């Protein structure tokens, strides 16, 4: 095993991810400390999702190294699933399990992966549903929930595994405007509680309120990595300025 | 105006009546009437009763062959279907080879090939292994491996067993494609969500993908069962005494072709039509549950 160069929660070092000739992620190095909230922005196709998916190994990097809480990720890491369960992920399309109720969606991985008893898993699931504000929906199937409710169940499902890091890939962009706030509020609470979060989003209000850092990506590269205020008030690169003028108008 | 309104009103009612008349399942009514007529004839006709008694053991053979072969077929099918969606190239290619060969062969040819070529070959290999193991003293002289296929030892692999194995292998390939389509119909996001929660590939398949896929494959698998019931008549080519084979024997010795094959056709139809109505019901149930 390769020793982590730093004592941080997430260390990404010279990571490349190529799809054929497309360099989706191009020599990215980022370090994230425990408790930090990092927002990633950038134009479509700039590699935000791919970078996020590399962090929990849904995509295997073409080259480079990633450490999660000191554990090096590689194809040879036998306990890749053990690392994955420390990293919760929330998807744009929710990806709830449609054949299971809200409660079962939250208990299934606890039981299969964490080997918790049925009653213990259900107890934790109810706490999480309460935390995201929909305790009354435990016996409802995803198909009967609104988009905002589905995304909150998805967040509860990830949190029930007690992850050290939460990844969000455009969690509100599939939602109707009136439902965006209820999801962002849950994420703000989570940020305040000290969760390490990496969030791909274009919700600038959330970035300003919650983010410690903003990373701007373009064509697979990290262009800027700075604080929200610094980025808005004093962007260093023309590409950043151009992009910000588009999304802030 | 008044009168024209009335005529058009009448025309609509008439149109509605013809419309709903044309939508009635007339085919079913005709079938049921035919069945009632035949059953009436069967009860009153000595020859029909004799034929039925002669075919009775064949009904059991047909059902036994179908059910056992089907259970093995969907087991092979599930395994091969999982192989067809596997990212492991060796597993994928083995599964694909199996499916392509079986789908490219007439079932009758598979039946003959498996019964007269594959199974004797396998038995000889097992015998050799048994003799070898006896030679190095691991097993007794007359062990089950060495004696497999031996009629005197009561270990004969009869043609019914061979037919069942052949049908299972053949239909396994068809259900493999059903399972593959079912699994592929579940979006990629489901697997990713399960994996991101720390489940491994098999846990994700078992708890997330397959439970959803099964609901989609039940109707086509049901149709497969009906097809298997019909296709099981091919085992008569091996002399297995199912409905078809007994019908052939009876008609050849009695010259009662019309009545014998009436009875044979009636037996198959009453089973397949009942089953296909069952599959229809299941289909609508599953759809309303979605
Ligand atoms: N599985 C894949 N196969 C081939 N190319 C891919 C794959 N996934 C992503 N890409 C390509 O990699 C590049 C980066 O994609 P990615 O989804 O990471 O961008 P993104 O920044 O998340 O964009 P968006 O804002 O549209 O979600 C794109 O050019 C995309 O077409
Ligand atoms: Mg994306």
Tell me which residue has tokens 């009967």: A144
Q: Are A42 and A90 in contact (CB under 8 A)?
A: no
Tell me which residue has tokens 């008439």: B14
pLDDT value at residue B1:
40
Where exactly are the structural domains of chain B? Answer: 52-285
Q: With 60 as the cut, is the pLDDT of residue B9 above it? A: no
Q: Are A124 and A116 in contact (CB under 8 A)?
A: yes
- Burial class of residue A86 in the structure, from the number of CB atoms within 10 Å of its CB (0-12 exposed, 13-18 middle, 19+ buried): middle
How many Å is the Cα radius of gyration of chain A?
A: 18
Question: Rounded to whole angstroms, how far apart are CA atoms B53 and B82?
Answer: 45
pLDDT value at residue A249:
65
Q: Indicate which atom in ligand 1 lies nearest the CA of residue A25.
A: 14
Question: Rounded to whole angstroms, how far apart are CA atoms A158 and A160?
Answer: 6
Question: Rounded to whole angstroms, how far apart are CA atoms A95 and B195?
Answer: 12
| Closest by CA position to A85, among listed A11, A157, A18, A31 | A157
Give the ipTM of the model, two decimals please.
Answer: 0.92
Phi/psi zone of residue A27: left (φ > 0), alpha (ψ -120 to 50 degrees), beta? left
Pocket probe for ligand 1: among A16, A25, A26, A47, the residue whose CB has the most ligand atoms within 8 Å is A47
Average pLDDT on B74-79 reads 96
Q: Ligand 1: residues within 6 Å at CB?
A: A 19, 22, 24, 42, 44-50
Average pLDDT on A26-52 reads 95
DSSP letter at B117 equals I
User: Bridge-partner residues for A28, per DSSP?
Assistant: A15
User: Bridge-partner residues for A89, per DSSP?
Assistant: A167
Average pLDDT on B74-82 reads 96
Q: Are B164 and B232 in contact (CB under 8 A)?
A: no
Average pLDDT on B16-41 reads 81
Q: How many CB atoms lie within 10 A of CB B286?
A: 13
Query: Two tokens at A96?
Result: 């709830």
Residues B140-194 have pLDDT tens digits of 777 888 878 777 777 788 899 999 999 999 999 999 999 999 999 998 999 999 9
Mean pLDDT of the residues in chain B: 88
Percent of chain B with pLDDT over 90: 62
Residue B230 pLDDT class (50, 70, 90 cuts)? very high
pLDDT value at residue B3:
45
Please give, rounded to a whole number of angstroms, the shortest distance from the CA of A3 to a CA of chain B: 23
CA–centroid distance, B290 to ligand 1, in Å, is 32
H or E element at residue A32:
strand A22-32
Please give, rounded to a whole number of angstroms, the shortest distance from the CA of A8 to a CA of chain B: 21
DSSP letter at B206 equals I
**A26-53: string of b/e by CB count within 10 Å (b at 16+)?**
bebebbbeeebbbbbbbbeebbbbbbbb
Question: Rounded to whole angstroms, how far apart are CA atoms A137 and B114?
Answer: 55
Q: With 50 as the cut, is the pLDDT of residue B2 above it? A: no
Q: Which residue from B193, B198, B212 is facing A95, i.e. has the nearest CB?
A: B193
Question: What is the side-by-side order of every strand in the sheet holding A22-32?
Answer: A22-32, A10-19, A63-68, A71-73
Please answer yes or no on whether B195 and A58 come within 8 Å at the CB atom: yes
Q: Which CATH superfamily is domain B52-285 in?
A: MetI-like (1.10.3720.10)
Q: With 60 as the cut, is the pLDDT of residue B22 above it? A: yes
Lowest mean pLDDT among B1-10, B78-87, B255-264: B1-10
Q: How many CB atoms lie within 10 A of CB B152?
A: 7
Q: What are phi and psi of A221, to 5 degrees?
A: -110, 155
Percent of chain A with pLDDT over 90: 76
Question: Rounded to whole angstroms, how far apart are CA atoms B90 and B173?
Answer: 17
Residue in chain B nearest A157 by alpha carbon: B197
Residue in chain A nearest B191 by alpha carbon: A95
User: Between β-strands A63-68 and A213-218, what pairing exists: parallel, antiparallel or unpaired?
Assistant: unpaired
Residues A67-84 have pLDDT tens digits of 998 888 877 666 787 788
pLDDT value at residue A77:
63
Q: What are phi and psi of A223, to 5 degrees?
A: -90, -45
Average pLDDT on A85-95 reads 93
Residues A185-239 have pLDDT tens digits of 999 999 999 999 999 999 988 998 999 999 999 999 999 999 988 888 888 888 8
Q: Does A109 touch chain B (CB under 8 A)?
A: yes
Please give, rounded to a whole number of angstroms, the shortest distance from the CA of A238 to a CA of chain B: 36
User: Bridge-partner residues for A210, per DSSP?
Assistant: none
User: Between β-strands A165-169 and A196-200, what pairing exists: parallel, antiparallel or unpaired?
Assistant: parallel
Coil vs helix vs strand at A25: strand
Angle of helix B210-231 versus helix B159-184 axis, rounded to 10: 140
Q: Are A215 and A25 in contact (CB under 8 A)?
A: no
Q: Does A71 touch chain B (CB under 8 A)?
A: no
Q: How far apart are the first and last CA of chain B?
A: 49
């Amino acid at each position: 095993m390769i020793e982590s160069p730093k004592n941080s929660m997430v260390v990404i070092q010279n990571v490349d991810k190529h799809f054929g000739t497309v360099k989706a992620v191009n020599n990215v190095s980022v370090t994230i400390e425990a408790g930090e909230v990092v927002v990633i922005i950038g134009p479509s196709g700039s590699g935000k999702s791919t970078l996020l998916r590399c962090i929990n190994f849904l995509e295997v990097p073409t080259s480079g190294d990633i450490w999660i809480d000191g554990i090096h990720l590689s194809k040879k890491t036998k306990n890749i699933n053990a690392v994955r369960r420390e990293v919760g992920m929330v998807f744009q399309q929710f990806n709830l399990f449609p054949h299971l109720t809200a409660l079962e969606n939250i208990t299934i991985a606890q039981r299969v992966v964490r080997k918790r008893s049925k009653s213990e898993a259900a107890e934790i699931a109810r706490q999480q549903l309460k935390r995201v504000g929909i305790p009354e929906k435990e016996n409802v199937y995803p198909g009967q929930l609104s988009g905002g409710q589905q995304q909150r169940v998805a967040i509860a499902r990830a949190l029930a595994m007690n992850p050290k890091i939460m990844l969000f890939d455009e969690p509100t962009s599939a939602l109707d405007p009136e439902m965006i706030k209820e999801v962002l509020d849950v994420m703000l609470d989570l940020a305040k509680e000290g969760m390490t979060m990496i969030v791909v989003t274009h919700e600038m209000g959330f970035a300003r309120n919650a983010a410690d850092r903003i990373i701007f990506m373009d064509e697979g590269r990290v262009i800027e990595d700075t604080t929200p205020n610094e980025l808005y008030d004093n962007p260093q690169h023309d590409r950043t300025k151009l992009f910000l003028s588009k999304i802030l108008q | 105006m008044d009168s024209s309104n009335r005529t058009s009103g009448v025309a609509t009612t008439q149109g509605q009546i013809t419309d709903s008349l044309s939508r009635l399942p007339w085919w079913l009514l005709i079938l049921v009437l035919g069945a009632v007529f035949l059953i009436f004839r069967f009860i009153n006709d000595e020859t029909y009763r004799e034929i039925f008694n002669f075919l009775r053991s064949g009904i059991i053979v047909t059902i036994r062959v179908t059910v056992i072969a089907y259970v093995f077929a969907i087991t092979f099918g599930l395994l091969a279907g999982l192989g067809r969606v596997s990212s492991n190239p060796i597993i994928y290619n083995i599964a694909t080879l199996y499916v392509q060969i079986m789908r490219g062969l007439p079932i009758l040819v598979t039946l003959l090939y498996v019964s007269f070529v594959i199974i004797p070959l396998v038995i000889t290999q097992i015998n050799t292994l048994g003799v070898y193991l006896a030679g190095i003293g691991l097993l007794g002289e007359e062990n089950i491996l060495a004696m497999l296929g031996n009629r005197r030892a009561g270990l004969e692999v009869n043609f019914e067993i061979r037919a069942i194995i052949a049908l299972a292998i053949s239909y396994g390939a068809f259900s493999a494609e059903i399972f593959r389509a079912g699994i592929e119909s579940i979006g990629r996001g489901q697997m990713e969500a399960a994996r991101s929660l720390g489940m491994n590939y098999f846990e994700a398949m078992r708890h997330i993908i397959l439970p959803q896929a099964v609901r989609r494959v039940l109707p086509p698998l049901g149709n497969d069962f009906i097809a298997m019931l019909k296709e099981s008549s091919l085992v008569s080519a091996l002399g297995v005494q199912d409905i078809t084979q007994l019908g052939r024997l009876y008609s050849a010795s009695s010259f009662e072709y019309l009545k014998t094959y009436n009875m044979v056709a009636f037996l198959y139809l009453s089973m397949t039509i009942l089953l296909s109505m069952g599959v229809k019901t299941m289909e609508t149930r599953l759809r309303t549950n979605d």
